[in-house]
Amino acid sequence: MPLLTGDDYRQSLRDGRQVWISGEKVEDVTTHPALKGMVDAVARIYDMHHDPLYADLMTFELPEGGRGARIYQIPTTREELSKRRLITAAILGDICPTMDRFGDETVTPLFVLANRKPLLDKYDPRYAQAATSWLHRLQRENLFLTSGNTDPKGDRSLHPYEQHDLDMNTRVVKETDAGIVIRGAKFETGAPYGHIAFIKPTVGAWVEENRDYAISCILPLNAPGVRHLCRAPLSRHGAEFDAFDQPLGARFDELDTLIVMDDVFIPWENVLFSRQPELAALLRSEFSRWSAQAYLARCQAKADLLVGAALLAAEQAGTIKLPPVRSRISQLMVFKATIDAYLLGAEAACETTEAGFIMPNQAIQNAGRVYCSMNYSPMVNLLRDIAGGTPVMLPDRAMLESPETAPDIEKYFRVGNHSAETRLRTLALLNDLTASPYAGRAQAYQMFAETPVHAQEAALFATFDRESAIARARAVAGLEAA
Ligand SMILES: Cc1cc2nc3c(=O)[nH]c(=O)nc-3n(C[C@H](O)[C@H](O)[C@H](O)COP(=O)(O)OP(=O)(O)OC[C@H]3O[C@@H](n4cnc5c(N)ncnc54)[C@H](O)[C@@H]3O)c2cc1C
């Protein structure tokens, strides 16, 4: 079967899924104003797989013949690892540098499970078999995969098994010869326009008493018992934004959704593990082995956009020659170049896994992840500083076009050769990067969507070569002789 096209993808979403936005049931997710922008963006990714410009990069020859989606292939060489980065960069370049969720990142915990086959086999041979057969299916069918890790959780001071309502974290309520039945909910970006969700345990202490919560499986997003409760769209009531006034928000809204799973049956072939706290802990500890590469590639594109917006705004306002403004723009450039260094350095010093796969250097990549999660808001703040207050005091396109207001807008927003329209468009971009609801969500995404910073720091601590650092310090302190 050839890989899906954009139109095939749109058609595949008309599958009876249960989606609600602002209290109303969505009849067709491909045409709803709050979802259409993202459906069109994802459809473009599908079409890119058939576009001669990208097809060689984005697809590969399947062993059984035909082309498969390369992003779902585990890298076995450094070149294949680099291609993952290049695919992410190509999508961000072609569609929009602020796009966050597509399958490049969300598939990678399946790589982690496939890599640990001997360990999984000790628990149940069906687990690794499910992981590898899902990877093959994803390569063949290029399904859009979302990520369900984060539960509502309830009281954070209590374990899942101690909660007053036991469904605050997703759990197995029944196990049969045919499969498992799960109940609970997960927060997921993009679920209303995804095909399947990869359900996994959240960050936590995976003690034996949490056994019923230690599950991972593949969930079709139209399965009976699945309900999508979308967050409020950024654009009020899902009405479309004007691309002049919200150049980013008007493109798409990556709707974050609470997926409710009301006693959903999962057949064994979709179960990656069930009631295995040790495997939950393993998956969490190795979770970002490959996913953080895609995260850093996104951060790189976003940082580049912030630098570009700063240069444009300063050039138009005539502040570009002022040393303090150049200094702030240079600081933004430091952020961008540092992200480049983390991304490329982790690739250059790549590591071989237990099963012989190739993954980015873990300590470098984990340090980059912490750096990016902590520094997106400071980067945005620098841009805000460079731009001054005008981005939050802007008239909209209608004011520029109204015969009564246009002359004043033309007069007071023009600077030299830069027309009022040029300036308003640029300042609107700055508003969408620093001040709008779109900008606010983007900052929260950067801080949390790659797991909270404390979990990233723990991953860095675990993967950093501490022995070598301690040995160096011992030698310098003269402790070896003591
Ligand atoms: C825009 C956006 C998109 C997202 N998309 C997805 C998605 O697609 N899939 C998905 O699964 N999740 C997604 N998330 C959820 C994200 O993974 C969580 O927000 C994140 O894991 C933090 O969990 P929480 O929001 O429940 O915060 P909480 O767990 O309530 O944490 C709140 C604060 O307390 C701190 N804290 C909590 N527990 C501890 C602890 N034990 N030690 C130290 N500090 C602690 C946290 O660091 C944080 O500062 C998304 C989040 C955002 C903002």
Q: 426-447 pLDDT, tens per residue?
A: 999 999 999 999 999 999 999 9
Query: At 473, is the pLDDT very low, low, confident or very high (cuts 50, 70, 90)?
Result: very high
Q: Whole-angstrom Cα distance, residue 261 to residue 168?
A: 11
pLDDT tens sequence across 71-114: 999 999 999 999 999 999 999 999 999 999 988 999 999 999 99
- DSSP, collapsed to helix, strand or coil, labels residue 299 as helix
The answer on pLDDT for 273 being more than 70 is: yes
17 lines ligand 1 (CB under 6 A): no
157 lines ligand 1 (CB under 6 A): no
Residue-level pLDDT at 331: 98
Is residue 108 a contact partner of residue 291, using CB atoms and an 8 Å limit? Answer: yes
Q: How far is the CA of 449 from the centre of ligand 1 (A)?
A: 7
Around Cβ 338, how many Cβ atoms within 10 Å? 16
- Take atom 33 of ligand 1 and give the residue whose Cα is closest: 452
Supply the range of the domain harboring residue 199. Answer: 6-49+107-284
Domain identity same for 382 and 331: yes
Q: How far is the CA of 255 from the centre of ligand 1 (A)?
A: 16
Q: What are the CA-CA distances from residue 291 to residues 39, 69, 105, 294, 369 (Å)?
A: 23, 17, 5, 6, 10
25 lines ligand 1 (CB under 6 A): no
The answer on pLDDT for 481 being more than 70 is: no
Domain identity same for 340 and 219: no
Q: How far is the CA of 452 from the centre of ligand 1 (A)?
A: 5
Domain identity same for 402 and 430: yes
The last residue of one of the domains, among 233, 257, 284, is: 284
The domain that contains 295 carries what CATH number? 1.20.140.10
Q: Whole-angstrom Cα distance, residue 280 to residue 119?
A: 13
Mean pLDDT of 320-337: 98
Residue-level pLDDT at 237: 58
Mean pLDDT of 308-334: 97
Q: How far is the CA of 234 from the centre of ligand 1 (A)?
A: 20
Q: How far is the CA of 150 from the centre of ligand 1 (A)?
A: 7
Domain identity same for 465 and 433: yes
CA-based nearest residue to 46, from 100, 9, 1, 94:
9
- DSSP, collapsed to helix, strand or coil, labels residue 142 as coil
> What is the pLDDT of the chain when averaged over all its residues?
96
- Take atom 29 of ligand 1 and give the residue whose Cα is closest: 156
The last residue of one of the domains, among 235, 259, 284, is: 284
Identify which of 155, 187, 203, 461 to mutate to test ligand 1's pocket (most ligand atoms within 8 A of the CB).
Answer: 187
Domain identity same for 156 and 213: yes
Say if 1 falls within a structural domain: no
Q: Whole-angstrom Cα distance, residue 296 to residue 310?
A: 21
Q: Whole-angstrom Cα distance, residue 384 to residue 380?
A: 6
Residue 382: enclosing H or E segment and its boundaries? helix 362-387
Residue-level pLDDT at 204: 87
Say if 29 falls within a structural domain: yes
Q: How far is the CA of 188 from the centre of ligand 1 (A)?
A: 12
Residue-level pLDDT at 239: 64
Q: How far is the CA of 450 from the centre of ligand 1 (A)?
A: 9
Q: How far is the CA of 187 from the centre of ligand 1 (A)?
A: 10
187 lines ligand 1 (CB under 6 A): yes
Q: What are the CA-CA distances from residue 384 to residues 19, 381, 387 (Å)?
A: 37, 5, 5
Domain identity same for 375 and 393: yes
pTM of this prediction?
0.95
pLDDT tens sequence across 8-40: 999 999 999 999 999 999 999 999 999 999 999
153 lines ligand 1 (CB under 6 A): yes
- Take atom 39 of ligand 1 and give the residue whose Cα is closest: 454
Say if 74 falls within a structural domain: no
Q: How far is the CA of 453 from the centre of ligand 1 (A)?
A: 9
Domain identity same for 201 and 266: yes
Q: Whole-angstrom Cα distance, residue 21 to residue 35?
A: 10
Say if 350 falls within a structural domain: yes
The domain that contains 132 carries what CATH number? 2.40.110.10
Complete DSSP assignment for 66-99: SEEEGGGSPP-SHHHHHHHHHHHHHHHHHT-TT-
Is residue 63 a contact partner of residue 136, using CB atoms and an 8 Å limit? Answer: no
Q: Whole-angstrom Cα distance, residue 360 to residue 349?
A: 7
149 lines ligand 1 (CB under 6 A): yes
441 lines ligand 1 (CB under 6 A): yes
- DSSP, collapsed to helix, strand or coil, labels residue 14 as coil
Mean pLDDT of 132-140: 97
Which is the closest atom of ligand 1 to the Cα of 453?
47
pLDDT tens sequence across 369-387: 999 999 999 999 999 999 9
CA-based nearest residue to 196, from 216, 212, 177:
216
Domain identity same for 269 and 305: no
Identify which of 448, 451, 456 to mutate to test ligand 1's pocket (most ligand atoms within 8 A of the CB).
Answer: 448
Which is the closest atom of ligand 1 to the Cα of 149?
11
The answer on pLDDT for 464 being more than 70 is: yes
Say if 90 falls within a structural domain: no
pLDDT tens sequence across 203-225: 888 999 999 999 999 999 999 99
Say if 77 falls within a structural domain: no
**Longest Cα–Cα distance in the chain:** 86
Sign of CA dihedral 468, 470, 472, 478: negative
The answer on pLDDT for 480 being more than 90 is: no
Domain identity same for 315 and 354: yes
Say if 139 falls within a structural domain: yes
Q: Whole-angstrom Cα distance, residue 213 to residue 7?
A: 38
Domain identity same for 276 and 342: no
Around Cβ 153, how many Cβ atoms within 10 Å? 16
426 lines ligand 1 (CB under 6 A): no
- Take atom 43 of ligand 1 and give the residue whose Cα is closest: 454
200 lines ligand 1 (CB under 6 A): no
Backbone angles phi, psi at 273, to 5 degrees: -170, 155
- Tally of domains in the chain: 2
- Take atom 28 of ligand 1 and give the residue whose Cα is closest: 156
246 lines ligand 1 (CB under 6 A): no
The last residue of one of the domains, among 257, 284, 311, is: 284
Domain identity same for 328 and 410: yes
Say if 120 falls within a structural domain: yes
Domain identity same for 391 and 328: yes
Residue-level pLDDT at 274: 98
The answer on pLDDT for 415 being more than 90 is: yes
The number of residues in the chain equals 482
pLDDT tens sequence across 96-107: 999 999 889 999
Sign of CA dihedral 130, 136, 139, 143: negative
The answer on pLDDT for 145 being more than 70 is: yes
- Take atom 4 of ligand 1 and give the residue whose Cα is closest: 449
Q: How far is the CA of 186 from the centre of ligand 1 (A)?
A: 12
- Take atom 45 of ligand 1 and give the residue whose Cα is closest: 454
Which is the closest atom of ligand 1 to the Cα of 189?
8
Q: How far is the CA of 78 from the centre of ligand 1 (A)?
A: 32
Query: At 238, is the pLDDT very low, low, confident or very high (cuts 50, 70, 90)?
Result: low
